Amino acid sequence: MSTSYIERSRGSCALHGALATFGAIEGVVPVIHATSGCGVQYQQGVTQFGGAIPACAAWGNPLSSSNITEKHVVFGGGSRLREQLKNTIKLLQGDLYVVVTGCSTEMVGDDIPAMTKEGREQGWPVIYANTPGFRGSIHRGYELAVHALIEQLPGIPGPELPPEPGLVNLLGIIPQQDPFWQGHLLGLERIFEAAGLTANPLLGLGHGIDRWRRLPQAALTVVTSPWGRDGAQLLEEKYGTPWVELHGIPVGARATGALLDALAERLPVDAARLAAYRQTQESWFERNLVRIAPQYYAGGFQQEFALVGESGFVPGAAEFLVETLGLIPKLIVITDPLAEETRDAWAQPLQSLVDTFKAKLAFAEDAGEIDDLLRASHAELIIGSSLDRPVADELHASFLPVSFPVANRLVLNRGYAGYEGGLAFIEDLGSALLRGRSIKLI
């Protein structure tokens, strides 16, 4: 069954994860060392369905690729890469160049560390990440990119940066694979700022490699998906930075409050200021909930839902839907390829909710399997990816696409993290539920 659904993959390979990550840092120029299709697939596939694109994929911003051919496979692609790197540095302005590799060049064993070292000896700011697709999913590519930056950026000369007190690194949000990546980062930034801290989002508009140079200064790393762990552990090893793991981004008032508590526990924050902020936000949030009451009841919001998405979003979203909005869970599917132990750990906070409502919790990547689960759930509302739309139509269920790939939404800075994010989620959800309604004059 699974083989017939291969084209409906919910994620690309490691190379594309690295490209999405490096591309989301301003001034970083990725140089792909692979066959031409690797870059083309990224630009025409991943960038279409993952919300706002990172800078490197922007129109008019060419993606540099060595486009190797059989000759380079047989004899090694080192000289082709050297040439490509030289030309890229001439043509594309950047603060940092990163060689990322595809399957073919890794199979051949091109010596990328040596090539980039050669470049650095000429004064070029160049590092590398070995990211052949066979190393894993797009998530693994994010990990590899983060790892490469933490390990290699200190070797690139840069400006002395004044310390930023209360700095908190954010890891775990994967550009494009999370279509709301930019908005989620912005939402978290806002929360930290309110707590008197400074978020170090590392990715997104306005953030360049200086953000990464500040990594060692941070007092804490906050990880919002299992894919941020590897980087957080490395930072702990190298700089002794402690880290905390959230089970996904906080959606709405409850989870955001819990995050603020966790921060206050670990970092010296102004307790009075924090309490005041919480109070204002919570009351504002509550009052907004009251404002939707007429539509909530008339529109029959209290529906049985299925939620399909990644570990960085699903737990927070599920909790919000059930605890805050009073919807009824039937099926929760986590789609990113988590290790067995991680699955258990991530199932745990969802357990009571699943037990109470006799809902089903599944870990599945295969679209066919997910289709079957959705059908069996008889959900009235499906919150998932555009791949889940046909089954939603089949079930006459309301449908809201939030997970990669998202085909029919334009996402820029929208996100569901924090207080405002919770309200945005309600708006989107409500719009999905009210989609079939027409005006009847009384």
- Tell whether residue 71 is a contact of other proteins (CB under 8 A): yes
Q: Which stretch binds other proteins (CB under 8 A): 70-78, 146-154, 233-241, 303-311?
A: 70-78
Distance CA 364, CA 381 (A): 19
- Tell whether residue 109 is a contact of other proteins (CB under 8 A): yes
Shortest separation between residue 190's beta carbon and other proteins, angstroms: 51
Distance CA 200, CA 241 (A): 13
Half-sphere exposure of 220 (CA within 13 A, CB side): 19
Nearer to other proteins, 74 or 290 (CB): 74
- Tell whether residue 108 is a contact of other proteins (CB under 8 A): yes
Shortest separation between residue 432's beta carbon and other proteins, angstroms: 50
Chosen residue from 3, 59, 60, 70 binding other proteins by CB under 8 A: 70
Shortest separation between residue 76's beta carbon and other proteins, angstroms: 3
- Tell whether residue 111 is a contact of other proteins (CB under 8 A): yes
Report DSSP letters for 210-264, one per residue: HHHHTGGG-SEEEESSGGGHHHHHHHHHHH---EEE-SS--BHHHHHHHHHHHHH
Q: Which stretch binds other proteins (CB under 8 A): 75-83, 94-102, 310-318, 427-435?
A: 75-83
CB 38 within 8 A of CB 66: no
According to DSSP, the residues that pair with 169 across neighbouring strands are: 200, 221
Q: What DSSP state is assigned to residue 92?
A: S
- Tell whether residue 442 is a contact of other proteins (CB under 8 A): no
Shortest separation between residue 220's beta carbon and other proteins, angstroms: 45
Shortest separation between residue 89's beta carbon and other proteins, angstroms: 23
- Tell whether residue 73 is a contact of other proteins (CB under 8 A): yes
Distance CA 33, CA 304 (A): 48
Taking the alpha carbons at both ends of the chain, their separation in whole angstroms is 51
Residues 6+ positions from 351 with CB-CB distance below 8 Å: 361
Region 13-52 residues binding other proteins, contact defined as CB under 8 A:
none
- Tell whether residue 78 is a contact of other proteins (CB under 8 A): yes
Give the tokens for residue 143: 């990990």
Q: Which stretch binds other proteins (CB under 8 A): 57-65, 109-117, 150-158, 176-184?
A: 109-117
- Residues that bind other proteins in the complex, under the rule CB under 8 A: 70-78, 107-111
